[in-house]
Structure 1
Amino acid sequence: MKLRIEIAALDVLTLRLFDHIDEANMPWLIAAGQRLRTLFGTDLIDLVPSYTTLMLHYDGQQLSEAEARRRVHAALDGLQPANAEAHGQLHQIPVWYDISVGPDLPRLAQLSGLSIRQVIERHCVRDYSVFALGFVPGFAYMGLVEPELTAPRLSTPRKKVPAGSVGIAERQTAVYPLVSPGGWNLLGRTATRLFDPQREGYSLLTPSDRVRFVAIDRDAFVDLGGDITPMAVEQ
């Protein structure tokens, strides 16, 4: 880990700890977040983690940039990685994998040289770390998928992706919490609500959480309240 501090905006610093996406980064980011929250206390307005960085928004009425930088260095001096499994939660998300709601399953099978069944099995084989939230409320960037499932985003994004759609882009995986445009490769759909204005914190997932996808059949999906409407074919 090598700290680089960059100015992102007024009273906002980007703390760049790593150069590459890696699940091994997460314990360090968790530990850094804990130290920074303790040292900044009420002078901290927000702390936003990502794959390799922490965006730190401090109270410019109380701290100068020089003091904020001093506290950052003090917080990260001698940092040791946290036990990632002791932080956050493990969520099991049931998914109905089917071409009618996961139209890119054949494409992923072709790119990987696997059968559709093997693609599904590979996607369900491990726990994924939640690295960051963004794009739309509740959209969690997770990874890393098995190397053979790596697939580029669609060259032309879809105009409308149904809520609950599960997709892959490069070595990331995610669930669309809301109806939105999107260019990820879609494998299936879940009835789990990742964003709920009535839920405390709104988002089901937060950085440092882990996710395990569980394959279910159509009947189980319907019993959970899932929407079986097939994906519309865009012209």
Structure 2
Amino acid sequence: MHVRPIGTSALRIEVDDPLAWFAFLDGERHAGRLAVVDIIPGARTVLLDGVTDPAAATALIRTAPPPAAPPVETAPVTLHVHFDGEDLPFVADHAGTTVDTVIRTLTGTDLTVAFCGFAPGFAYLTGLPWTMPRLPSPRPRVPVGSVALAAEYAGIYPTASPGGWRLVGRTDTALFDIDRDPPALLTPGRTVRFTAA
């Protein structure tokens, strides 16, 4: 584990299990032992932003035992998906299986929100048995609600945007709503299930 200062009021922690560290640090924040504005997990890092006392936060992190895996959410977010994505045949071929098996795998696997980024409401979901290459060049516009795969992640585009992920389907569920609390439907640590619409 490495702790690196970012400017004068942020720290970046390089760790093996960002979700476990996210849950631990969030617990320390709620217990009043860590003064920080935001804790943001990534693929292999956790960023602490708005740290009031970086020296004290660094000492807390360096002396903490490795945190246990966070508890699994008891109420998964279920998303109804129309599995009609144009890249389904490619995904099946790359995985060495059939389109029907890909859909069964996507609907039969509990996915976990590892971290969020790229766009407000975009969650990187882990738990799939394959890795998928991105497109050689991104599409200029991916429709809102598109369910897609890239590398070891699944994700859903919360707004129409350019994107280079492999499209497998679409959902009508709103992933980001500024009037909702919190605005993002999918947050780090949440369990997500796809069902065939």
- Regarding TM over 0.5, the answer is yes
Amino acid corresponding to residue 38 of structure 1 in structure 2: A
Distance 2:51 2:87 in 1: 46
Range with bigger deviation, 157-166 or 27-36:
27-36
The reply on whether 1:84 has 2:65 as its aligned counterpart is: no
The answer for unaligned runs of 5 or more in structure 2 is: none
Cα distance in 2, alignment partners of residues 15 and 39 from structure 1: 20
* Correspondence for 2:14: 16
Equivalent position amino acid for 2:174 in 1: R
| Closer/same/farther in 2, CA of residues 37 and 16 from structure 1, 3 Å limit | farther
- 1:83 CA drift (Å): 4.5
Deviations 1:57-115 (A, max 9, x none): 2344xx2x3233223335xx235415421x574111110001xxx11011112212211
Q: What residue is the counterpart of 1:122 in the other structure? A: 105
| Rounded Cα–Cα distance in structure 1 between residues aligned with 2:67 and 2:115 | 21
Change (3 A) 1:143 1:123: same
- Aligned residue number for residue 214 of structure 1: 195
Partner Cα distance (1:32, 1:92) in 2: 27
Please say if residues 125 and 154 of structure 2, whose CA atoms lie closer than 8 Å, have aligned partners that are also in contact. Answer: yes
Over the matched positions of the two proteins, sequence identity in percent amounts to 32
Summarize the Cα distance change of 1:28–1:46 in structure 2 as closer, same or farther, 3 Å threshold: closer
Q: Does 1:94 align with 2:80?
A: yes
SS in 2 for 1:66: helix
Could you tell me whether the CA contact under 8 Å between 2:87 and 2:168 is conserved in 1? yes
Equivalent residue pairs, number: 197
RMSD: 2.0
Larger proportion of helix: 1
* Secondary structure of residue in 1 paired with 2:37: strand
- Equivalent positions of 1:180-191 (< 5 A) are 180-191=161-172
Match of 1:58 among 50, 59, 73: 50
What residue in structure 2 maps to residue 136 of structure 1?
A: 119
* Offset of residue 16 of structure 1: 1.5
- The 3-state SS of whatever aligns with 2:176 is coil
User: Which has the greater radius of gyration?
Assistant: 1
1:4 aligns with 2:2: yes
Quickly say closer, same or farther: Cα 1:196–1:140, change in 2 above 3 A. same
CA offsets 1:117-140 (integer angstroms, 9 cap, x no match): 111111112111101111010000
Q: Which runs of 5+ in 1 are unaligned?
A: 19-23, 217-235
Instruction: Name the CA shift for 1:59/1:109 in 2 (closer, same or farther; >3 Å).
Output: closer
In structure 1, distance between residues paired with 2:37 and 2:29: 11
Counterpart contact for 1:15–1:53, Cα < 8 Å: yes
Alpha carbons of 1:15 and 1:38: their partners in 2 closer, same or farther (altered >3 Å)?
farther
**Structure 1 contact 158–181 (Cα < 8 Å) conserved:** yes
Runs of 4+ in 1 over 3 A off after TM superposition: 24-29
1:27 Cα deviation from its structure 2 partner: 3.8
Greater Cα offset, 51-60 or 131-140: 51-60
So what's the TM-score if we normalise by structure 2? 0.90
Question: Alignment partner of 2:79: what SS?
Answer: strand
